[in-house]
A and B are shown apart, each in its own frame.
Chain A
Amino acid sequence: MTIASAPRYWREIKYRYRLIGSRCLKCGKIYFPHRHICLVCGHRKLEDYKLSEKGVVEVFTVIRRNYPLGYEKNAPYIVGLIRLEDGVKVLSQIVDCHPEEIKPGMLVELTFRKVKEDGKKGIIEYGYKFKPIFR
């Protein structure tokens, strides 16, 4: 099995650790993940944009079989689509709760977690996940 390359992981650290996307300097459209060209107006200048760390769950599932290699340790796990306060959607694991506790519209916030292990010699990858804000 191939070991993930370190530079490929490093390149994304800024975006994955702090949830940074892109904002079009012409029309203001915000994107996650980061991109070079605006899908709305075609403008080629976009700046890094720190996304809101809070949002609501739109829809979610629990992955229960055929986990891709490297994800077995957390299984089964919840993956959902989160709509952030600034309107951008993020696909992410949802942690620190049971599936029965999640309802569409539930408030969640960003948390920094281990995402994936690549065997004994590979990189341990970290990044964004979301957890419920229980009130």
Chain B
Amino acid sequence: MRRVAVVGVGCTKVGELWDKSLKDLVVESATKALDDAGIDNIDVVYVGNALAQILQNQSNLGSLVADCLGFEGIPAISVEAADASGSLAFHEAYKAVKFGWADKVLVVGVEKMSDSSSEEVSKALMTFEDQDYVAFTGITQAGIHALLLKFYMEKFGVKHEDIAMFAVEAHKKASKNPYAQFRNLIKLEDIFRSPVVADPLRLLEHTTLADGSASLILCPLEEAKKLKLQPIEVLASSTATDRFFLHERADMLTFNSTVKAAEKAFKEAKISRDQIDVVETHDSSTILGVISLEDLGFVEKGKGANFVVEGNITIDGRLPTNTMGGLKGRGHPLGATGVYQLVEVVWQLRGEAGENQVKNVKVGLTHTVGGVGSFASVNILGCLG
């Protein structure tokens, strides 16, 4: 087994990018990552995407991406795990390098959502859940999050305002991220003035249509040392699943996929939770952000919202979280999101995070959820010298 490093990163701005196609987005982020690494050829590309088959009527993304990047003849692998597709692509690429199958691997996450109406996207997003018995009821992703939000408030006696603070924090950091979708600051009043999407979840608590692509290059750590930039080591990468139906889980407010993936990742990296300097977690809605921090083991169940209110997740807090705005602020281009999170942790580790730079970062963690917790991925990156 070989030690693996990230040697190049790149991404596009996130937003409704009407003048850019799926292919344009891929080329922009991948060429940035290649230039960042200072290389111009790769052995294999892994592509993470969630909905191109539905929203663009486009499949066979592996070959398409290899072609538009001009890499003729290389193997290309496209993977899908709902909105954790990018993280799964990274995980597979990591194994390819770790076990010696490839030396220079490109990971591309991409999603193009703004070509479709919000009703079409709403229907497409429900392909993450069982079609015959969950989507069939007419529930939306926001609706499922609303059930969790309500259940959480009832079970732990937590105020909605405290949970909604996750979005206020997200916009604060996104306001200083030039790549973010939402760079406006919001207050709690703004959230509670925004329309109810699904009772009691508000519009400003949830992510929306976003286009974007993020890419990175992996290679063996030994090779990475020869390249121009400081290599960032992948200390662990793990994925896990939970029961597919939320209603069949013993505890709906704990995603066992996250719990298991985190346990495996911490064991593989041989580090403890208090060694983590920055976290990029899956706040596709405020409640998922709160649940995720708890499931990752950073805070006790039921105390996640309070943890946020007490200021622990700010840039200079105890556990700087979603430092570039998270899914809510930076934006959530589904299959690209996991790769964005990794790119952002690499920026933090290299000291390139601009106004959102956290001091003295040695280890960072990313966490991505697919569907409503049926899949989760946890990665730990570090520069331990």
Q: What is the total of A-B residue contacts with beta carbons within 8 Å?
A: 102
**Cβ contact within 8 Å between A68 and B135:** yes
* Identity of the chain B residue whose Cβ is nearest the Cβ of A93 in the assembled complex: B137
Q: At the interface, yes or no: A115 with Cβ under 8 Å from chain B?
A: yes
Q: At the interface, yes or no: B195 with Cβ under 8 Å from chain A?
A: yes
**Cβ contact within 8 Å between B123 and A68:** yes
Q: How many chain A residues touch B (Cβ–Cβ < 8 Å)?
A: 37
A37 shortest CB reach to chain B, Å: 13
B110 shortest CB reach to chain A, Å: 23
CA distance A60 to B149 in the complex (A): 10
A63 shortest CB reach to chain B, Å: 5
Q: Which residues of B contact A69 (CB under 8 A)?
A: 119-120, 122-123
Q: Which residues of B contact A120 (CB under 8 A)?
A: none
CA distance A77 to B293 in the complex (A): 31
Q: At the interface, yes or no: A79 with Cβ under 8 Å from chain B?
A: yes
**Cβ contact within 8 Å between B119 and A62:** no
Q: How large is the interface on B (under 10, 10 to 19, 20 to 34, 35 or more residues)?
A: 35 or more
**Cβ contact within 8 Å between B142 and A33:** no
**Cβ contact within 8 Å between B133 and A61:** no
Q: At the interface, yes or no: A81 with Cβ under 8 Å from chain B?
A: yes
The residue from B121, B198, B243, B248 contacting A61, defined by CB atoms under 8 A apart: B198
**Cβ contact within 8 Å between B133 and A91:** yes
Q: At the interface, yes or no: A12 with Cβ under 8 Å from chain B?
A: yes
Interface residues of A in 78-117 (CB under 8 A from B): 79-81, 89-93, 99, 104, 115-116
Q: At the interface, yes or no: A67 with Cβ under 8 Å from chain B?
A: yes
**Cβ contact within 8 Å between B197 and A66:** yes
**Cβ contact within 8 Å between B118 and A33:** no
Known contacts A64-B196, A77-B138; A59 and B119 CB within 8 A of each other: no
A72 shortest CB reach to chain B, Å: 8
**Cβ contact within 8 Å between A61 and B199:** yes
Q: At the interface, yes or no: B132 with Cβ under 8 Å from chain A?
A: yes
8 inter-chain pairs at a CB distance below 8 angstroms, sorted by A residue, are A16-B136, A32-B133, A61-B198, A61-B199, A66-B121, A81-B147, A89-B247, A115-B137
- Chain B residues with a Cβ under 8 A of chain A: 118-123, 126, 130, 132-140, 142-143, 146-147, 150-151, 154, 195-201, 203, 243, 245-248
Q: Which 9 A-B pairs have the closest CB atoms?
A: A68-B123, A61-B146, A71-B138, A66-B122, A89-B247, A33-B133, A79-B139, A62-B199, A61-B198
